[in-house]
Structure 1
């Protein structure tokens, strides 16, 4: 099942419905921002608003400041470069095992990028040391402050050089992005912000945890889906899936699905009787566009959701498919549907728009 070499080409409505339910977009909502992130394991985070909107669509009544509080006050969430060398929001406790799985491939990518940016190995090494010393002495610090420290030490910071120094420091397990201050997210030392590292997991144990947690938020899915999402070799994710084979439901379509998701709740419906998600307004870089090898089952012919430079736009989800894009202008949501919508769907999306506006409104400001 999970080891099948050719991924199924078609995504049947039952599979789509089950995936949307696993994503937290249909059925029972999660209770808190941390619950939602725990269920999804890792949330794309290079767009701060999109990261927060992922929580809104999965935690009823939540507010953007709930994410900020978890990052700043509770230290229960952090942001760093993980899957595919991309910024992700994760629980602090999951950072400790997910980072060692993904960091080696991130470092290999970044070292090639240093060459492209004209940063020598010695300059990169010096840059990481400067960042570590600055955060130890004066952290938390934002990107602008670290830029000046690096520039003063003679480390290149123009173009993408600065961000690659920060990624290298993160890949080494030295820094994460933690507290939100003045609308920006500051960098902190892992040892200062999260404390001592727990006992490390063995790689096989971590791969099994990865497989289980991925399927809880994305199943049914193939081994290739997991490899694409995590940015890991296919052989690695197959080892993880094989380790949890006793927990997988019986399917005949080459996809893997947990018999019962972690935590309370009913067993996973292998036959596909999950409810389709109600109309939703999803933010930019929503996980539902990034969790599988293909996103055609969501976007269909409307690939303009992904712009030419790879930016994922906010979109409306109706009956499990992209039905339009939207934007916030002057504090108000403006929807651009791909085709006329029914009165019932239009009303549901108006309610969603009002909730997006409430979610993003600064705390204490009346609607």
Structure 2
């Protein structure tokens, strides 16, 4: 897979133009009254290995939404969680999962095959795991991850040393398993054919065009390389998809960016975005919102764990973290520089928005 880039020679004026348009396209600066399911469907896919962060990513884009609303959408199956792209967990609309996997599975499987061999997972192991999972879950049943892994162990398939994770990942890639309704803090699994009752059926060029159109609408302005990286498609497939979608484009700084018709830039604002939010993770080149000098503070040590970000006027201006109790949420900020009184007031409003989502008062520290 291509590596994402944090730095490029992009002038500040272009950076501000790109991010102002992306804040609108992504509904960060202009949340709507859409339901949680409608927001996820519009965003197409929301990175979700950090589930609490993903819930806030969706919630901040849905005016008036609460964490309980997102939880209810997951519990009912109105939104599902799986590995449709880049070997990474995402929230998607249930009807989209199957056709997305048909497009992205071949390339993902190529990258995963080496790891599976290194873990000693054989084709016989996968066949046994499949039979075991279907027998345990058919009839509309769901089981916690630990219980399902215990069944694999009982069938003679070791699950230690990342083997369990890759067994589940491969079954999800094959369209057998999908995450079911959460059981408290425990993830569960269900059978795709029973949990997703009305899948959409796109194939070939129609699927490529739909993929590109949905990405451009919710992420533009973005380059063909951004789309290829995000989608797990090859660059050739991505360019073909954009051609099929007849995506509008503009040129800035020698780069061609694709975006929706009629997109208007957002007014400058201040947001508290979770780690792994699509405002950063939606692009291969992240230099528009994030200066290269600050990139190490977003992913400390290059460990792949993205810190929550403070975004001021479309540019990343610091990090933050929260601690939450039954009575309050405390937001601790670490700005990259001195904050004006106007910015501090804006952070206070952003924290109150987070508090309303969580259902508790929130304060800045």
Please indicate the TM-score interval, normalised by the length of the shorter structure: 0.7 to 0.9
SS at 2:32's partner residue? coil
2:21 aligned with 1:18, yes or no? yes
Partner residue, 2:95: 93
Q: Which of 42, 46, 56 in structure 1 is aligned with 2:45?
A: 42
2:72 aligned with 1:69, yes or no? yes
Partner residue, 1:286: 277
Contact 1:212 1:258 in 2 (8 A): no
Question: 1:276: Cα distance to partner?
Answer: 4.1
Partner residue, 2:331: 333
Contact 1:34 1:91 in 2 (8 A): yes
Partner residue, 2:263: 268
Question: 1:196: Cα distance to partner?
Answer: 5.9
2:86 aligned with 1:84, yes or no? yes
Q: 1:250 to 1:137 in 2, by over 3 A?
A: closer
How far apart, in 2, do the equivalents of 1:212 and 1:122 lie?
A: 39
Contact 1:142 1:184 in 2 (8 A): yes
Contact 1:43 1:51 in 2 (8 A): yes
2:336 aligned with 1:307, yes or no? no
Out of 292-301 and 83-92, give the one that drifted further: 292-301
Contact 1:225 1:293 in 2 (8 A): yes
Question: 1:366: Cα distance to partner?
Answer: 8.0
2:312 aligned with 1:342, yes or no? no
Q: What pairs up with 1:242-261 in 2 under 5 angstroms?
A: 242-245=243-246, 247-249=247-249, 251=251, 253-260=254-261
Partner residue, 1:164: 166
Question: 1:180: Cα distance to partner?
Answer: 2.0
SS at 1:12's partner residue? helix
Q: 1:30 to 1:226 in 2, by over 3 A?
A: farther
Partner residue, 1:102: 104
Q: 1:110 to 1:126 in 2, by over 3 A?
A: farther
Partner residue, 1:3: none
Q: 1:19 to 1:183 in 2, by over 3 A?
A: same
Question: 1:36: Cα distance to partner?
Answer: 1.8
2:325 aligned with 1:322, yes or no? no
Partner residue, 1:5: none
How far apart, in 2, do the equivalents of 1:316 and 1:227 lie?
A: 27
How far apart, in 1, do the equivalents of 2:267 and 2:130 lie?
A: 47
How far apart, in 2, do the equivalents of 1:97 and 1:9 lie?
A: 37
How far apart, in 2, do the equivalents of 1:329 and 1:145 lie?
A: 30
How far apart, in 2, do the equivalents of 1:104 and 1:287 lie?
A: 24
Question: CA-atom RMSD, angstroms?
Answer: 2.2
Q: 1:259 to 1:150 in 2, by over 3 A?
A: closer
Contact 1:128 1:165 in 2 (8 A): no
Partner residue, 1:212: 213
With normalisation by structure 1, the TM-score equals 0.87
Question: 1:187: Cα distance to partner?
Answer: 0.7
- Structure 1's unaligned 5+ residue stretches are 1-7, 261-266
Question: Residue by residue, what CA displacement relative to the aligned partner does 1:231-283 show, whole Å, maximum 9, x if unpaired?
Answer: 110111111111122x52554654243453xxxxxx225xxxx1244100000
Contact 1:77 1:92 in 2 (8 A): yes
Contact 1:128 1:166 in 2 (8 A): no
SS at 1:104's partner residue? helix
Partner residue, 2:351: 353
Q: 1:249 to 1:184 in 2, by over 3 A?
A: same
Question: 1:136: Cα distance to partner?
Answer: 1.7
Partner residue, 1:263: none
How far apart, in 2, do the equivalents of 1:12 and 1:338 lie?
A: 18
Q: 1:283 to 1:12 in 2, by over 3 A?
A: closer
How far apart, in 2, do the equivalents of 1:9 and 1:121 lie?
A: 47
Question: 1:336: Cα distance to partner?
Answer: 1.5
Q: What pairs up with 1:110-129 in 2 under 5 angstroms?
A: 110-129=112-131
Question: Residue by residue, what CA displacement relative to the aligned partner does 1:109-140 show, whole Å, maximum 9, x if unpaired?
Answer: 22221122222332232223222222226831
